[in-house]
């Protein structure tokens, strides 16, 4: 019993640090209303789409959402998102009310479970030094963003599952215990249920690295049988969810490159950002890991080197990989720091290396006046968007044309179907919203509304709408686009009737005679 107490205390301290780090933004996510309610400000449009799916399965347990009718109206979309996170949010909603608050908490709880797994995993296999690994996992800006409060996105589930799967496989390489092989294989199968992209890339990289490090010994019988479990789970859930065509239609393929430019996570990463997510030790890590391997012939030193090199390259290509880079770097730290035999020296070098991480946290906690004003404006905008959605909820059901970045929130909060959306599957509708807002020809704009069966139009700040719409379509904005007239409430076309306005948004109803 006396030995358990310090371990539990350590787990509690790391858990408390992690929860403090992932909920630093609580004042921007959970906004109390004067009447006692709570406005939940989610991170982005995809999060609102996820909550829409979770609400559907919570209302009808057993449902598998294979198509969305709340974006790309009236055609809808066939998304690549799958059921696991939908049901995790719905299950948490049984204990946390309302469902939006449960959604806000799902990612922090997934991250907490992953951290606790790493704590007891590293102790079970005798991994040393383990403290820096757990500390960085708790405070890395990349991981605390992936697991942040108010971000019900499947990325958090993917990071949790792939981190646990990699760690369990490391344990199997170290101990040869079959239980670790079956654990890793089962979790890989679940990860492939969530997505066939990141988990498949990392699983292949893991097997390549294991083969490089151990040769033929990398594939013992128990691991070959375990991989059959992975494949069986992946194929079974694929059949359960239904086949989703991975190839986008020609319209999406045409628009996707320009749309991707508008998304930061699909752009490359600077060296400064890489260091802000991991610390200075990322720079000498390849040499330290290679030296460790050649000196000790520990296969795990080579495995983590290969995985870290791949994660760094992928993150340099697209920033969306940053939480996997941070997670793999955390797993690599025991091998990176192993040559520093003395604990005080390990912690000294490690803490000094965190200077870029500390600078990133300083920018979060002590923002510039401009950033503080932007955050406050975002909260005000979310409150006014909820007010706009409440108005739309009171109206007869009909298609809504709005800027694509606010469309998922409006869909979730109003119950109305949207023409645009934040997924690439909804790009045909998103492009039509851009064409409408940039229109200089009123009859052409009216024809677009008829084709899309639109009953309501919602405006946003014209400077945002014009620039993003022009970038998406790859065209120059006209001199007097329709969005400028609508946002200012001037020279309104005859087929639109103003029915609602607040300081951020205006709602127009399409007149029946316009059709």
Model confidence pLDDT, tens digit, residues 127-166: 999 999 999 999 999 999 999 999 999 999 999 999 999 9
Q: Does residue 514 register a pLDDT over 60? A: no
When pLDDT is averaged across residues 36-40 and rounded to a whole number, the result is 86
Q: Does residue 57 register a pLDDT over 50? A: yes
Rounded CA-CA distance 104/51 in Å is: 10
Regarding whether 323 and 409 lie in a shared domain, the answer is no
Distances (CA, A) of 142 to 227, 319, 321, 328: 30, 10, 9, 12
Instruction: Report pLDDT for 217.
Output: 87
Q: Does residue 177 register a pLDDT over 70? A: yes
Regarding whether 198 and 283 lie in a shared domain, the answer is no
**Residue holding tokens 């040559």?**
339
Q: Provide the 8-state DSSP code for 504.
A: S
Residues 351-362 pLDDT 10s = 999 999 999 999
When pLDDT is averaged across residues 330-351 and rounded to a whole number, the result is 94
Q: Which three-class secondary structure state does DSSP give residue 258?
A: helix
Residue 513's pLDDT band (cuts 50, 70, 90): low
Instruction: Report pLDDT for 105.
Output: 98
Regarding whether 113 and 2 lie in a shared domain, the answer is yes
143 is a domain residue: no
250 is a domain residue: no
Regarding whether 381 and 341 lie in a shared domain, the answer is no
Regarding whether 510 and 400 lie in a shared domain, the answer is yes
Rounded CA-CA distance 402/46 in Å is: 16
Q: Does residue 476 register a pLDDT over 60? A: yes
Residues 491-504 pLDDT 10s = 899 999 999 999 99
Q: How many domains does the chain have?
A: 4
Classify the phi-psi angles of 490: left when phi > 0, otherwise alpha if psi is within -120 to 50, otherwise beta.
Answer: beta
Q: Provide the 8-state DSSP code for 321.
A: G
Rounded CA-CA distance 118/370 in Å is: 38
Residues 267-286 pLDDT 10s = 899 999 999 999 999 999 99
424 is a domain residue: yes
Regarding whether 455 and 386 lie in a shared domain, the answer is yes
Angle between helices 299-317 and 285-296 (to 10 degrees): 160
> Is residue 139 within 8 Å of 357, Cβ to Cβ?
yes
Q: Which segments of 176-263 does DSSP mark as H helices, in order?
A: 178-194, 198-214, 221-241, 250-261
Regarding whether 445 and 378 lie in a shared domain, the answer is yes
Phi, psi angles (nearest 5°) of residue 396: -55, 150
Q: Which residues contact 480 (CB under 8 A, 6 or more apart)?
A: 440
Residues 284-328 pLDDT 10s = 999 999 999 999 999 999 999 999 999 999 999 999 999 999 999
Rounded CA-CA distance 108/104 in Å is: 8
Rounded CA-CA distance 346/338 in Å is: 8
Domain limits for position 348: 270-366
133 is a domain residue: no
Residue 2's pLDDT band (cuts 50, 70, 90): low
Domain end call among 242, 261, 278: 242
Q: Which of 437, 441, 399, 405 is nearest to 421 (CA)?
A: 405
Domain end call among 122, 142, 176: 122
Regarding whether 497 and 381 lie in a shared domain, the answer is yes
Q: Does residue 431 register a pLDDT over 90? A: yes
CA 341 to chain centre: 38
Using only C-alpha atoms, what is the Rg of the chain? 25
> Is residue 194 within 8 Å of 84, Cβ to Cβ?
yes
Q: Parallel, antiparallel, or unpaired: how do β-strands 506-510 and 454-459 relate?
A: antiparallel
Q: Does residue 477 register a pLDDT over 90? A: no
Q: Which residues contact 84 (CB under 8 A, 6 or more apart)?
A: 154, 157, 190, 193, 194
Omega of the bond prior to 74 within 30 degrees of 0, cis? yes
Regarding whether 483 and 419 lie in a shared domain, the answer is yes
Distances (CA, A) of 415 to 53, 265, 288, 390: 12, 28, 55, 9
Residues 237-255 pLDDT 10s = 888 887 776 667 788 888 8
| CATH number of 397's domain | 3.40.50.12610
Lowest mean pLDDT among 237-251, 337-351, 390-404: 237-251
54 is a domain residue: yes
Instruction: Report pLDDT for 479.
Output: 86
Q: Which of 90, 327, 329 is nearest to 199 (CA)?
A: 327
Regarding whether 505 and 447 lie in a shared domain, the answer is yes
**Residue holding tokens 């999060």?**
47
Regarding whether 350 and 390 lie in a shared domain, the answer is no
263 is a domain residue: no
144 is a domain residue: no
256 is a domain residue: no
Regarding whether 114 and 184 lie in a shared domain, the answer is no
């Amino acid at each position: 019993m006396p030995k358990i107490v310090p371990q539990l205390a350590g787990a509690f301290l790391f858990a408390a640090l992690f929860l403090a780090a992932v909920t630093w933004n609580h004042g921007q996510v959970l906004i109390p209303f004067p009447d006692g309610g709570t406005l939940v400000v989610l991170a982005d449009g995809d999060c609102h789409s996820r909550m829409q799916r979770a609400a559907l399965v919570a209302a009808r347990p057993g449902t598998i959402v294979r198509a969305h009718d709340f974006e790309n109206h009236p055609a809808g979309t066939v998304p690549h998102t799958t059921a696991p996170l939908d049901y995790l949010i719905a299950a948490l909603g049984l204990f946390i009310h309302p469902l939006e608050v449960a959604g806000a908490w799902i990612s922090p709880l997934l991250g907490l479970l992953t951290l606790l797994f790493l704590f007891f995993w590293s102790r079970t296999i005798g991994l040393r030094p383990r403290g820096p690994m757990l500390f960085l996992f708790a405070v890395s800006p990349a991981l605390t963003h992936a697991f942040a409060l108010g971000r019900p996105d499947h990325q958090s589930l993917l990071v949790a599952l792939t981190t646990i799967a990699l760690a369990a496989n490391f344990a199997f390489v170290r101990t040869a215990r079959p239980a670790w092989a079956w654990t890793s294989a089962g979790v890989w199968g679940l990860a492939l249920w969530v997505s066939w992209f990141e988990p498949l890339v990392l699983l292949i990289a893991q097997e390549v690295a294991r083969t490089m490090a151990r040769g033929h010994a990398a594939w013992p019988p128990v691991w070959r049988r375990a991989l059959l479990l992975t494949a069986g789970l992946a194929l079974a859930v694929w059949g359960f969810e239904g086949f989703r065509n991975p190839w986008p239609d020609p319209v999406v393929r045409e628009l996707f490159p320009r749309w991707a430019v508008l998304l930061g996570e699909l752009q490359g990463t600077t060296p400064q950002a890489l260091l802000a997510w991991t610390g200075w030790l990322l720079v000498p890590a390849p040499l330290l890991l290679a030296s460790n391997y050649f000196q000790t012939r520990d296969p795990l030193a080579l495995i983590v080197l290969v995985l870290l090199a791949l994660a760094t390259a992928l993150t340099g290509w697209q920033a969306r990989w940053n939480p996997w880079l941070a997670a793999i770097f955390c797993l690599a730290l025991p091998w990176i720091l192993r040559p520093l035999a003395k604990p005080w020296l390990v912690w000294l070098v490690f803490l000094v290396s965190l200077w870029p991480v500390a600078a990133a946290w300083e920018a979060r906690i002590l923002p510039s006046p401009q950033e503080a004003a932007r955050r406050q404006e975002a909260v005000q905008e979310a409150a006014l968007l909820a007010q706009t959605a409440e108005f739309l909820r009171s109206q007869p059901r009909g298609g809504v044309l709005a800027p694509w970045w606010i469309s998922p929130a409006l869909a979730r909060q109003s119950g109305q179907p949207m023409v645009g959306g934040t997924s690439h599957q909804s790009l045909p509708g998103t492009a039509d919203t851009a064409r409408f807002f940039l229109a200089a020809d009123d009859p052409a704009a009216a024809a677009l509304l008829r084709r899309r069966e639109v009953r309501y139009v919602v405006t946003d700040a014209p400077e945002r709408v014009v620039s993003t719409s022009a970038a998406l379509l790859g065209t120059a904005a006209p001199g007097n686009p329709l969005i400028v007239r609508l946002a200012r409430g001037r020279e309104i076309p005859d087929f639109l009737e103003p029915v609602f306005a607040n300081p951020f948004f205006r709602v127009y109803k399409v007149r029946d005679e316009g059709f």
